[in-house]
C-alpha cells in the first residue's frame, strides 16, 4: 500500500498501538483502517477487536490484514459492548503509546507523527487534537474545540473535563476527544464495562484524577463521523442511568472540591436528561397519560421538547437539500504561489493551504476552517478537489471523502487521480492515498 505522505526512517521511534473496537461497522471500516495504515509514523500496530459483528466486517478485516502485517484482529463470539472490546484490545496491545480510533472515523495521515512531536515538546504523557465532524449534511461547520471556544494550545484537568460535559448532550464535550496516551499512564486502568455510552469520558476522567492535565492542541487531525447509527448519539434510559451511577461514584470519591462541585452540576443535568428521555419514550409509545404526567411534574421539559422537534425538522431539511442533486463544487488547494499558475473552472473555489506544524501559532485556525468547510461541502453534494504542489497534499487529509481528487505538480501539470481512504484497497479505485 502506497501513500503520498512519505516519512523518513523511524526505526528508533516509539511503537504506537492503535486500538479499535468494531461492531457491524462494515460500510466504514476500510476507510478507518486504511487511514491508520497511511500514517507517516509507520512504527505502529493496529489491534482490532470485532465484537461479534453480523455484517461483512470480518471479511473486510481479513482482506485488509492480508495487505499489512501491522494489523491484529481479535474475534469475539458474542457481543459484550465497546468498553469490554477496548479492554481486550488494550490487554493485547504492546505499544509505548496508545491511541483509540473508532471503526467509522478517519485519521489525518500525519496525526500520530504530529501528536508525538507535540507531546515531546510539551513533556506530556497525554495529548489530544481537535475533532472535525463529517458525514452528515447537518454536521455543522465547527470543530469540537471551536464549539468550546478553544483556539490555542491548552491543558485540560479533571474539573475542565467535567464542566465541558454539563448541558445538552452532543458534540460539545471534551470526552469526545481521542488522546494519544503513554502506556505508563494507562497501566492498571481499564474501561468501565457498565457503560455503553460515555465510556471515553469516564476513562479520561479517571486518568486526569490520577495524574497531570491533558495537553490539547487545536489541529484538526481526527475526523469524527456523524451518522444515524453512531453509538455516541444513542442515549437510552439504561445508558443514562449507568452514566448517572458512574457520576455519583465520582462525587463520592472525588477529593478535589472543584471536581466534586462540577460533577454535582453534571449529575443534575444527567437526571434532567433521563427525565427527558422517559418523556420521549412515552410519546413514541403513545403513552399519552404517562407523557402528560411527566410534563406536569417537570414543565421545564416542554421547551427542550419543542426545540428537539424544530431541530429534527432542520436536520431533515438539510438532508433533503443535500439529496437534491446539488451541482458539483470544485475546490483548488495550494499555496498562494502555486495557485497563480492553475487553469481551473470559472466557478472553482480557491483555498490557500498553510504548512502543517505543531509550532505554528496562527496556522491551526486556518486548518480548522479548511477542514470544516471541505467536510461540510462533501456532505452537501459532489466535491471535486484539485491539490496543487506537494504542500497541498496535507490539506487532502482534512477531508474524509470526495467524488474526485487530482494531484498536480507546482506547475499545474502531471496530475493523477487520488481516491479516499479505503476505496482502492477494497473497491478497486485507481489510486489510494
**Least confident interval from 13-17, 282-286, 409-413:** 409-413
Length of the chain: 433
257 burial type by CB count under 10 A (0-12 exposed, 13-18 middle, 19+ buried): exposed
User: 12 vs 55, which has greater pLDDT?
Assistant: 55
**Least confident interval from 264-273, 305-314, 400-409:** 305-314
- Calpha distance 319→285 (Å, rounded): 26
- Evaluate if residue 8 carries a pLDDT over 60: no
- Evaluate if residue 426 carries a pLDDT over 50: no
DSSP per residue over 334-401, as a string? E-HHHHTT----TTPEEEE-----SS-SSHHHHHHHHHHHHHHHHHHS-EEEEEESGGGHHHHTT-S-
Angle, helix 199-210 to helix 237-253, in steps of 10 degrees: 10
Helices and strands in the chain, H and E counts: 16, 14
pLDDT of res. 3: 38
310 burial type by CB count under 10 A (0-12 exposed, 13-18 middle, 19+ buried): exposed
pLDDT tens, position by position, 221-234: 999 998 755 544 45
What is the CATH number that goes with domain 14-231? 3.90.550.10
25-39, 236-250, 266-280, 414-428, range with greatest mean pLDDT:
25-39
Beta bridge partner(s), residue 388? 408
- Domain coordinates in residue numbering, the chain: 14-231, 235-318, 327-406
pLDDT of res. 416: 85
Cell of 334: 495550494
pLDDT of res. 144: 93
Q: Are the beta carbons of 127 and 217 closer than 8 angstroms?
A: yes
Q: Are the beta carbons of 80 and 116 closer than 8 angstroms?
A: no
CATH 3.40.720 fits 327-406, yes or no: no
Strand pairing class (214-225; 106-107): antiparallel
- Calpha distance 156→154 (Å, rounded): 7
DSSP 399: -
- Calpha distance 246→229 (Å, rounded): 25
Give, for 20, the enclosing helix (H) or strand (E).
strand 16-22
Residue 429's alpha-carbon distances to 33, 108, 338, 393, in angstroms, are 16, 20, 28, 19
State pTM to two decimals: 0.86
85 burial type by CB count under 10 A (0-12 exposed, 13-18 middle, 19+ buried): buried
- Evaluate if residue 422 carries a pLDDT over 60: yes
The whole-number average pLDDT for the span 264-278 is 86
pLDDT tens, position by position, 70-118: 999 999 999 999 999 999 999 999 999 999 999 999 999 999 999 999 9
DSSP 328: P
Q: Are the beta carbons of 210 and 256 closer than 8 angstroms?
A: no
Amino acid at each position: 500500500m502506497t501513500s503520498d505522505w512519505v516519512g523518513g526512517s523511524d526505526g528508533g521511534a516509539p511503537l504506537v498501538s492503535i486500538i479499535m473496537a468494531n461492531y457491524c461497522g462494515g460500510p466504514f471500516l476500510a476507510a478507518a483502517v486504511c487511514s491508520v495504515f497511511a500514517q507517516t509514523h509507520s512504527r505502529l500496530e493496529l489491534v482490532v477487536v470485532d465484537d461479534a459483528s453480523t455484517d461483512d466486517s470480518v471479511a473486510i478485516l481479513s482482506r485488509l490484514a492480508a495487505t499489512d502485517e501491522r494489523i491484529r484482529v481479535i474475534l469475539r463470539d458474542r457481543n459484550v459492548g465497546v468498553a469490554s472490546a477496548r479492554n481486550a484490545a488494550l490487554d493485547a496491545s504492546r505499544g509505548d503509546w496508545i491511541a483509540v480510533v473508532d471503526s467509522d472515523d478517519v485519521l489525518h495521515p500525519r496525526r500520530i507523527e504530529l501528536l508525538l512531536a507535540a507531546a515531546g515538546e510539551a513533556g506530556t504523557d497525554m495529548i489530544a487534537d481537535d475533532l472535525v465532524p463529517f458525514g452528515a449534511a447537518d454536521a455543522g461547520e465547527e470543530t469540537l474545540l471551536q464549539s468550546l471556544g478553544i483556539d490555542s494550545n491548552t491543558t485540560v484537568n479533571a474539573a475542565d473535563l467535567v464542566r465541558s460535559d454539563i448541558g445538552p448532550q452532543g458534540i460539545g464535550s471534551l470526552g469526545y476527544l481521542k488522546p494519544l496516551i503513554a502506556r505508563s499512564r494507562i497501566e492498571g486502568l481499564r474501561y468501565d464495562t457498565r457503560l455503553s455510552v460515555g465510556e471515553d469520558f469516564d476513562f479520561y476522567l479517571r486518568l486526569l484524577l490520577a495524574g497531570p492535565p491533558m495537553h490539547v492542541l487545536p489541529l484538526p487531525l481526527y475526523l469524527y463521523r456523524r451518522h444515524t447509527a453512531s453509538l455516541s448519539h444513542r442515549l437510552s434510559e439504561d445508558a443514562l442511568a449507568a452514566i448517572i451511577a458512574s457520576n455519583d461514584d465520582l462525587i463520592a470519591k472525588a477529593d478535589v472540591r472543584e471536581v466534586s462541585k462540577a460533577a454535582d452540576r453534571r449529575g443534575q443535568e444527567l437526571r434532567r436528561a433521563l427525565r427527558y428521555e422517559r418523556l420521549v419514550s412515552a410519546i413514541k409509545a403513545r403513552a399519552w397519560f404517562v407523557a402528560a404526567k411527566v410534563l406536569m411534574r417537570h414543565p421545564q421539559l416542554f421547551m427542550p421538547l419543542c426545540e428537539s422537534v424544530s431541530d429534527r425538522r432542520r436536520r431533515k431539511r438539510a438532508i433533503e437539500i443535500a439529496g437534491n442533486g446539488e451541482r458539483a463544487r470544485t475546490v483548488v488547494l495550494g499555496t498562494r504561489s502555486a495557485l497563480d499558475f492553475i487553469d481551473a473552472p470559472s466557478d472553482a473555489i480557491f483555498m490557500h493551504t498553510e504548512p502543517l506544524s505543531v509550532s505554528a501559532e496562527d496556522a491551526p485556525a486556518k486548518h480548522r476552517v479548511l477542514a470544516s468547510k471541505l467536510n461540510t461541502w462533501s456532505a452537501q453534494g459532489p466535491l471535486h478537489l484539485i491539490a496543487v504542489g506537494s504542500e497541498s497534499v496535507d490539506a487532502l487529509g482534512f477531508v474524509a471523502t470526495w467524488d474526485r481528487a487530482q494531484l498536480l505538480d507546482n506547475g499545474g501539470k502531471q496530475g493523477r487521480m487520488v481516491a479516499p481512504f479505503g476505496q482502492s484497497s477494497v473497491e478497486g479505485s485507481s489510486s489510494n492515498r
